[in-house]
Amino acid sequence: MSSVAALPERLLLGSGPSPVPERVLRALAQPTIGHLDPAFGALMDEVAAGLRTVFGTENRVAIPVSGTGSAGMEAMVANFVRPGDRVVCGVHGLFGERMADELARHGADVVRVEAEWGRALDREALTAAVAAGDTAALFVVHAETSTGVAQPLDGLADACREAGALFLLDCVTSLAGHPLSLDESGVDAAFSGTQKCLNAPPGLAPFTANARALERVDDGRVGSWYFDLSLVLAYWRDADGAGGDAGKPARAYHHTAPINLIYALAEALEIVQEEGLDARWKRHATAHETLRRALAELGFERLAPEGEQLHPLLAVRVPEGVDEAEVRTALLTEDGIEISGGLGPLAGKVWRIGVMGEGARAEAQHRLVVALAKRLGQPSTAALAALADGWR
Amino acid sequence: MSSVAALPERLLLGSGPSPVPERVLRALAQPTIGHLDPAFGALMDEVAAGLRTVFGTENRVAIPVSGTGSAGMEAMVANFVRPGDRVVCGVHGLFGERMADELARHGADVVRVEAEWGRALDREALTAAVAAGDTAALFVVHAETSTGVAQPLDGLADACREAGALFLLDCVTSLAGHPLSLDESGVDAAFSGTQKCLNAPPGLAPFTANARALERVDDGRVGSWYFDLSLVLAYWRDADGAGGDAGKPARAYHHTAPINLIYALAEALEIVQEEGLDARWKRHATAHETLRRALAELGFERLAPEGEQLHPLLAVRVPEGVDEAEVRTALLTEDGIEISGGLGPLAGKVWRIGVMGEGARAEAQHRLVVALAKRLGQPSTAALAALADGWR
């Protein structure tokens, strides 16, 4: 046996991956079948429908890109952005920086609109930047996983429509955990990840695009063969043309899909459907606020101001006198609980605590608070009372 | 429950995915842990070591790229080929065509050296093309999955060294099933897939590169953020620098690795190690020749001539009078056995039968031959005798 069986169990309360339910692991381990098997094709349709629901869209195209969340970013840029395009990119954390980097590699003329890490971007600054030139696209991160900030989206689509620009979104950490409806917000294309609020293993990037975005796809001239939507969608297209352009052949071989990961995603989407998206959003909001109050009792204050918080990720300032790396490591290796440290300018200054799917439950938070109070040498009474109160 | 649990079981004897052993499925379904967890780091080292063994290389860099086999192709081109580079590309099947397409999208000056689908490329033609200009790289497909042909590699590395060109290889279908030693053949970089002779689920591309190839990686200027090896290797680098450049920090976050797929790969590599690579190659050779003889008794002749056959994939001509699509579909939906049809110019003319890992076993072949004889309305006696003889 490899050492896989000896791996420790962890309670995943970091920035992702999040706790994967037993049901999803069982689905993952169903025997592999062929990527062109009609039985798999039926499952692909089920996944596409489930993705439409969580994205809040009626787009025909809703697929898992065959790679982790960042592969979704790469697919978005490869298909919708051309070298020389003026692209306004909101940067208020690591994932905005990442997109700005990717856009520059792709030859785009990147116009950065920045905010302090830990704050949302200013809407006026974004819309003014879009209007200030011949803008091909606006890109923003809905859920900044590096700071725990949720970006308000209102007003952005109108500015893009007026400028003839696409509105592109990273919703890796918000999908199925924080209120989001792409169609209501007028988003043209978005990507996400499976290892956050969907509670599936990492390895797929849920992706959607509307007809307006797909017009930009330049058949056969997209720089990337692997991510070329004109090819990928020929595989995801069903007999009715859903999942791709109607009128072209269905299920044409492109690359071998990551079959078992798609099994896991199907089961994860089914779990979301059983709970209901609204109820799931509400549970995440409750879980976030409850944990915030409990951690405040232990001396941790949230980085994001009220109104800008991202429910699935609570980033808190580590108080003076706490050796953040030591405590975080002890939580992992001694208590089996993973939380995440800060990135970039926030390294050593914040913890990022996941409130994602099965991690947004009273039991998980109770275990974290008890362990953390013990590691800090503090009484847990007030924090546990806050938890009990919030989950009442 | 989603419909995953209701999926049919299939005996996967097509061009891949191949049969995934129960042990590998169990490993796949181990609880997800974090991509920066030290326990996962230890498993990454185990995987890198296992990949070095199957690739036949002492390269420090041996990693699974986070995508299916074609993502490995994309990573190779993004990192080692620059726009304007003269690249000689062998084309003797679909996967050579695919690479030529990818190279052209990337702006390379593609020099095609072709052979008929079903034959190997001529060595002299390849070396002459390499010598005929300022060649940056030679690319060949070791295992043409579209035709079942294994490309001889001898003499190619010398031509590349003389020209200052990189020798780049697609070994998706040969890795761990057909004799291959990258170091002995002087290959500078290669990619593969997990869903062929390794018998793991699809979704990862085993990838390796030597120092000569890595010199081409242009830090921060690779067109693709997702596949930029200067970033990917910072994550795979262990404390000793193995898996990446020494002297840089280990396990630096890039993207979230597909954790559970890496579990499955670790277990699959362990199975190869238990059998031994030489023994595994011999078993595949035996399985190929045995099935070839059995199918010849049913009227099917191999496409590849003797000496050019790829052990893990037996492509056979479908005799006149057999409705290939109808028989193949009945095998799948009635008998639960997947075999693959032809691609491109061979569509409707050949079947491609996988002889990969657990598919290269007497029991699997027996089941196929019995079902096929029945579908064809032929007696199975002579074919089964050939099987029994070959597996004696």
- Which residue ranges form the domains of chain A, and what is each CATH number? 22-274 (3.40.640.10), 277-390 (3.90.1150.10)
**122-141 of A, contacting B, C-beta below 8 A:** none
In 3D, which of B309, B287, B303, B310 has the Cα closest to residue B368? Answer: B287
- CA dihedral sign of residues A41, A47, A51, A53: positive
Taking the Cβ of residue A270 and every Cβ of chain B, the question of whether any pair is shorter than 8 Å is answered with yes
Q: Can you tell me the mean pLDDT for B114-137?
A: 98
pTM above 0.90, yes or no: yes
Residue A11 CA to chain centroid, in angstroms?
19
Residue B370 confidence (pLDDT) above 70: yes
Taking the Cβ of residue B1 and every Cβ of chain A, the question of whether any pair is shorter than 8 Å is answered with yes
- Identity of the residue numbered A160: C
The residue with greater pLDDT, A238 or A57, is A57
Return the number of other C-beta atoms located less than 10 Å from residue A320's C-beta. Answer: 6
Task: Name every chain B residue with its beta carbon within 8 A of the beta carbon of A331.
Answer: none
DSSP state of A4: G
Residue A248 confidence (pLDDT) above 80: no
Query: pLDDT value at position B359?
Result: 98
Residue B213 confidence (pLDDT) above 80: yes
Query: pLDDT value at position B98?
Result: 97
Mean pLDDT of all residues belonging to chain B: 96
pLDDT single digits (tens) A44-88: 999 999 999 999 999 999 999 999 999 999 999 999 999 999 999
Alpha-carbon separation of residue B157 from B62, B89, B154 (angstroms): 20, 14, 7
* Angstroms from A392 CA to nearest CA on chain B: 29
DSSP B309-335: B-TTEEEEEPPTT--HHHHHHHHHHTT
Task: Name every chain B residue with its beta carbon within 8 A of the beta carbon of A35.
Answer: 17, 202
Which pLDDT band, with edges at 50, 70 and 90, does B148 fall under? very high
Query: pLDDT value at position B290?
Result: 98
Task: Name every chain A residue with its beta carbon within 8 A of the beta carbon of B202.
Answer: 32, 35, 256-260
Question: Percent of chain A, pLDDT > 90?
Answer: 94
CB burial of A338-354 (b: ≥16 within 10 Å; e: otherwise) equals: bbbbbbeebeeebbbbb
Substitution target from A32, A44, A196, A219 for chain B, most B beta carbons within 10 A: A32
Q: Is the ipTM of this complex over 0.85?
A: yes
B260 to A222: CB separation less than 8 angstroms, yes or no: no
Least confident stretch, A58-62, B2-6, B73-77: B2-6
DSSP state of A309: B
Taking the Cβ of residue B38 and every Cβ of chain A, the question of whether any pair is shorter than 8 Å is answered with yes
A258 to B260: CB separation less than 8 angstroms, yes or no: no
Query: pLDDT value at position A15?
Result: 98
Alpha-carbon separation of residue A370 from A154, A294, A354 (angstroms): 39, 11, 16
Which pLDDT band, with edges at 50, 70 and 90, does B248 fall under? low
- Asked if residue A17 has a cis previous peptide bond (ω within 30° of 0), the answer is yes
